[in-house]
């Protein structure tokens, strides 16, 4: 297993680890915006840049890489707070603040890096979307791909095809849940859910009556997993009750 240093602290991590894992193991915080545990890293926001040296290189030659997707190597040295790393993060946040001047997450991160106002021309139509790509990647990950990044420049955004209710969307809310700025709106109520201008019928637990999952989502999961659709419409409360009833019937032996 590779052993490396992060800001001088020695850590040993798994063979498949990336630098971000090593930093976390060392207790060193590296800011991220487009990383989400469980999703393939993308390396798009560039906020997680670090300096890195590895064996065989000149002793003072460091390369700047993104921590979320760069693999570790034995003997590697990682520096997360060098002058050029901090300056690069400042540029990233300065640009994001120009695009999203009213977004609390970006305002906070920018302030933490000493930026009170963007030095670039601000976006004439402020948005909360930082184009981190988490929503489209999670939608791809579940095998739906209902939304995508469209347009260019200030107008770049995440949208369904032709800005119409996406035919493939199953209303699972995964995109809204991973969005770091909570800028994907949805609503729920009266056995219905609405997201991306599309309405979904909710399936309710037959025992508790709780709305659990959209019908489209249950059908999607049942099709892909082979598990009967009814399983997905069972609430956690019902599952706990079934488990408790099963335990109550067990005979204690020995």
Sites of contact with ligand FES (CB under 6 A) = 32-35, 43-48, 66, 68
Stretch that binds ligand SF4, among 2-10, 43-51, 104-112, 140-148 (CB under 6 A): 140-148
| Min separation Cβ 238 and ligand FES, Å | 38
Q: Which does 44 bind (CB under 5 to 8 A by kind): ligand FES, ligand SF4, none?
A: ligand FES
Which residues is 159 bridged to in the sheet? 148
Whether 81 and 57 have beta carbons less than 8 Å apart is answered as: no
Using CB under 6 A, pick the residue from 181, 192, 208, 229 that binds ligand SF4: 181
Q: Which does 47 bind (CB under 5 to 8 A by kind): ligand SF4, ligand FES, none?
A: ligand FES
Quick note: the x/- pattern for ligand SF4 over 50-79, rule CB under 6 A, is ------------------------------
Using CB under 6 A, pick the residue from 78, 97, 184, 213 that binds ligand SF4: 184
Nearer residue to ligand FES within complex by CB, 34 or 106: 34
Using CB under 6 A, pick the residue from 45, 85, 131, 212 that binds ligand SF4: 131
User: 């809310």: which residue's tokens?
Assistant: 173
Nearer residue to ligand FES within complex by CB, 99 or 193: 99
| 11-16 long-range Cβ contacts below 8 angstroms, 24+ apart | 13/72, 16/71
User: Judged by CB under 6 A, does residue 169 bind ligand SF4?
Assistant: yes
Q: Which does 7 bind (CB under 5 to 8 A by kind): ligand SF4, ligand FES, none?
A: none
Nearer residue to ligand FES within complex by CB, 22 or 172: 22
């Amino acid at each position: 297993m590779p052993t490396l240093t992060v800001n001088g602290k020695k850590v040993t991590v798994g063979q498949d680890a990336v630098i971000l894992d090593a930093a976390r193991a060392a207790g060193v915080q590296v800011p991220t915006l487009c990383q989400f545990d469980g999703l393939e890293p993308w390396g798009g926001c560039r906020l997680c840049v670090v300096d890195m040296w590895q064996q065989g290189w000149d002793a003072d030659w460091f390369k700047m890489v993104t921590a979320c997707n760069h693999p570790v190597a034995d003997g590697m040295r990682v520096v997360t707070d060098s002058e050029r790393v901090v300056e690069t993060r400042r540029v990233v946040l300065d640009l994001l603040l120009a695009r999203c001047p009213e977004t609390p997450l970006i305002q906070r991160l920018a302030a933490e890096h000493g930026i009170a106002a963007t030095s670039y021309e601000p976006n004439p139509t402020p948005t909360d979307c930082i184009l981190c790509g988490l929503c489209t990647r999670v939608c791809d990950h579940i095998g739906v791909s209902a939304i995508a990044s469209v347009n260019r420049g200030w107008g770049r955004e995440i949208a369904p095809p032709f800005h119409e209710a996406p035919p493939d969307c199953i209303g699972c809310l995964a995109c809204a849940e991973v969005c770091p700025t909570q800028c994907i709106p949805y609503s729920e109520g009266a056995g219905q859910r609405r997201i991306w201008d599309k309405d979904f019928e909710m399936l309710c637990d037959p025992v508790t009556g709780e709305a659990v999952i959209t019908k489209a989502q249950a059908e999607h999961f049942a099709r892909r997993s082979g598990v009967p659709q009814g399983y997905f419409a069972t609430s956690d409360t019902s599952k706990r009750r079934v488990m408790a009833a099963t335990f109550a019937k067990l005979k204690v032996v020995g």
